[in-house]
Amino acid sequence: MNTVIEVNALAKSFGSKHALSDVNFRIEQGSTVALVGPNGAGKTTLFSIICGYLKPDHGTVNILGHNPRSAPLFSKLSALPQDAQLDPKFSVEKQLSFFAQLQGMDKKAALADTQRVLELVDLSQVAQSKTSELSHGMRKRVCIAQALLGSPEVVLLDEATAGLDPKNAKAIRNLIASLKGQITFILSSHDLSELERLCDTVLYLEQGKLSSHQSDLHQTQPGSFITLQMLNLSDDMHQKIAQLTGVLAVKQTQSDELVIEYTKQPEPLDLSLLSLIHENQWTYKQIVNGRTLENQLFVD
Amino acid sequence: MNLNRTWLYSQFELTRLFATKRGWLAVTAFSLVWFMVLRYPIYNAVPFINSPEFEGFVSQLAGTVGLYSLVSWPEAELAIFWVIALFTFPMFSVFVTADQTVEDRNRGTVRFLTLRSTRFELLLGRFMGQVFILAVLIGLVCIATLIMMGIRDSGLVSSGLTKTLAIWAKLLITCLPFIALMSLLNLLTNSARMSIVFAILFFTIIASVITYVGDVYPMFSFLNFAIPGHHIGDITGWQSDAHFSLLVPIFQTVALLGAGQFILRERDL
């Protein structure tokens, strides 16, 4: 696989605050990467450096073989910057087609591509509207649409679904999922379940440092963890599950959630677990093969 | 630098003025103001300047302020327009071009743009767009003045046409450093309004200090060349040896845009 982004020893400070320090990672072509971390962890700073909005104090960033801000990246790297707005005085179509023209399309192709990306975010009906006439969610979707103009190879989306209603957030997630593989996505979000569904790699930033870099998020080792969410979870359930053959440890991570660590046995644990639930007439909400992203990041 | 992208930015600026309601309102207000200037001060001054009774007085007065050659123009409308426009258009351009990049920067719109072009293309494209806008506005007033003169005496139109073109070009060149100054101030302030305030402070306090220092210490008089509009006194009287003075605003423009490019390259967006 080709490396599309390589970051080495990246550091950035704002006054005495270290926003990023010694950040190193590589992102492979076609992967969908989650950038996770608490508020103020340095996610937006990292996005801004990759996009060329900020200059790092130290370290290097290489995107598709080029430095940020390089002309060869102009139609290959696109982004949804956090809080960036389009000009409220012009129509959506005028601005997006202008962006497309800047990317090298002629006027006709730019208008056609504008229509295409607006259809992707289900907003073709607002092409002639000024952005000041749109709701917050619509403006956000238009900004996502501009990131898909042309044929970008790398797309950075900073809090893409924040502020969207559930239906549109789901539509955006579906859109990203449908483009996975063709485009390398880097997504920042506080919605871990969203990232879990979309991403195969996680970069966890904390206080400006990359504290975790997990690849192959969904490739769980056979016979390692099962996450079980139960209705009316009780100590009795906890104990009975712990007695199943092969179970090494059972940890309660939430009021209704158990993470079961086990070793591989002749009889698969998920079948034993479902039998146990059925025999005791318990009700389960969800069974996840492996640990949730939240548990991987925040539970020992 | 990609000229196509720079040209696209310039074109977009033109649509900002001529394809938006707000832009047309500004053009209408501008036209009305100049209609009043042409209709009253200029239209009424022409008979006075051309009158044989006042010829001696006008010539003496014009000679005192270095405008003797202008009084001898048969195209009196153009002569008066030239003097008024030379002192008003530079200041007008400061206000008209006050928002080149600053509001887009505040809104974050430049983040979309700088993923698709270099920062210098944005800076230069916006600057060129403002120059085109000024060129159109100055051109409109020049044509209106020419028409007014043609109504008085159609025989003057052909000779006036050359002068009109020269006035248009000299006015535009004079305005260039003022537009470039606003390009630069847009990078140093956080709003178009603050850019105007800084421009006013520059032309009052800093320009006065520079002039004073140049007067007291002649070795520093070269600093006067840093003030946009410094050459205006040299070209007002349409002196035949003043062509070199028109290089001053061009050099100032290049220097201001160069400073803008350096600041924009280094600053965070």
Best interface-test mutation with A: which of B109, B116, B117, B122 has the largest number of A CBs within 10 A?
Answer: B116
**pLDDT higher than 70, residue B145:** yes
> Residue A265 has what pLDDT?
82
8 A C-beta contact, residue A45 and residue A81: no
Out of A48, A99, A143, the one facing B116 most closely (by C-beta) is: A99
Residue A36 φ then ψ, to 5°:
-120, 150
> Residue B66 has what pLDDT?
66
Both structure tokens of B99: 């928002």
**pLDDT higher than 90, residue B98:** yes
Residue B10 at interface with chain A, using a CB cutoff of 8 Å: no
Mean pLDDT of A60-67: 95
8 A C-beta contact, residue A200 and residue A215: yes
> Residue B199 has what pLDDT?
96
Q: Could you say which DSSP state residue A244 is in?
A: S
| pLDDT-based confidence at residue A101 (cuts at 50, 70, 90) | very high
CA distance A36 to chain B (A): 22
Domain regions of chain B by residue span: 3-266
> Residue B256 has what pLDDT?
97
Mean pLDDT of A271-275: 92
CB count within 10 Å of CB A54 equals 21
CA distance B21 to chain A (A): 9
Give the per-residue SS3 of chain B.
CCHHHHHHHHHHHHHHHHCCHHHHHHHHHHHHHHHHHHHHHHHHHHHHHHCHHHHHHHHHHHHHCCCHHHHCCCCHHHHHHHHHHHHHHHHHHHHHCCCCCHHHHHHCHHHHHCCCCCHHHHHHHHHHHHHHHHHHHHHHHHHHHHHHHHHHCHHHHHHHHHHHHHHHHHHHHHHHHHHHHHHHHHHHCCCHHHHHHHHHHHHHHHHHHHHHHHHHCHHHHHHHHHCCCCCHHHHCCCCCCCHHHHHHHHHHHHHHHHHHHHHHHHCCC
Q: Do B5 and A69 touch (CB under 8 A)?
A: no
Look up tokens 């059925």; give the residue. Answer: A278
Contacts of B111 in chain A (CB under 8 A): 51, 53, 79, 81, 84
Closest-approach residue (CA) in chain A for B23: A89
| pLDDT-based confidence at residue A1 (cuts at 50, 70, 90) | low
Best interface-test mutation with B: which of A46, A63, A102 has the largest number of B CBs within 10 A?
Answer: A102
Contacts of A53 in chain B (CB under 8 A): 111, 114, 268-269
Contacts of A55 in chain B (CB under 8 A): 266, 268
Mean pLDDT of B231-253: 87
Q: Do B115 and A54 touch (CB under 8 A)?
A: no
Look up tokens 């259809």; give the residue. Answer: A119
**pLDDT higher than 90, residue A299:** no
Contacts of B5 in chain A (CB under 8 A): 102
Q: For residue A150, which of A75, A96, A81 has the smallest C-alpha distance?
A: A75
pLDDT cut 70: percent of chain A above it: 95
Residues A110-148 pLDDT 10s: 999 999 999 999 999 999 999 999 999 999 999 999 999
| pLDDT-based confidence at residue A189 (cuts at 50, 70, 90) | confident
**pLDDT higher than 90, residue B117:** yes
Q: Do B115 and A48 touch (CB under 8 A)?
A: no
| pLDDT-based confidence at residue A266 (cuts at 50, 70, 90) | confident
Contacts of B266 in chain A (CB under 8 A): 55
> Residue B128 has what pLDDT?
97
> Residue A219 has what pLDDT?
54
Mean pLDDT of B56-69: 69
> Residue B69 has what pLDDT?
77
Both structure tokens of B105: 């920067």
> Residue A220 has what pLDDT?
55
8 A C-beta contact, residue B187 and residue B101: yes
Mean pLDDT of A79-104: 94
Q: Could you say which DSSP state residue A131 is in?
A: G
Mean pLDDT of B194-215: 94
